[in-house]
Amino acid sequence: MLCDRLVERLGGLLVAAIPWSQLPLVLAQEEHDPASSADNEMRDRLTEHGWLESFLIWASKEPLDFLFYVLVFLSPFFCLSAYLSWKLCKEIEAKEAKRKRKAKKE
């Protein structure tokens, strides 16, 4: 049967063979695993994969804070983009006006 096994691809490793009936037990064991200490957790967070994973977990748990920080960090770039667009628009209008004046003289 198709629902007998949970197959998940994580980090290039194929983890399989967890029956659906035992899935809640396996997930509960992973949450309360006594083997993982604070030192191992901190060491994992210092790696590139661990940092990204902790960042994604934070973003999924606190989506409003994540969006707030994204807007705060990107707003200067939005303002810069608006200013440069306005400046480009004025330059294009000036070139068109100059071209019209030149065409009118001829």
Give the dihedral of Cα atoms 25, 27, 31, 32; nearest 10 deg: 20
Residue owning tokens 């198709």: 2
Non-local CB neighbours of 23 within 8 Å, separated by 6+ positions = 6
Residue owning tokens 């707003």: 75
Structure tokens at 96: 């068109």
**What's the confidence (pLDDT) of residue 82?**
97
Q: Domain segments of the chain: what residues?
A: 63-105
Residue 3 or residue 48, greater confidence? 48
Cα Rg, the chain, nearest whole Å:
28
**pLDDT-based confidence at 15, cuts 50/70/90?**
very low
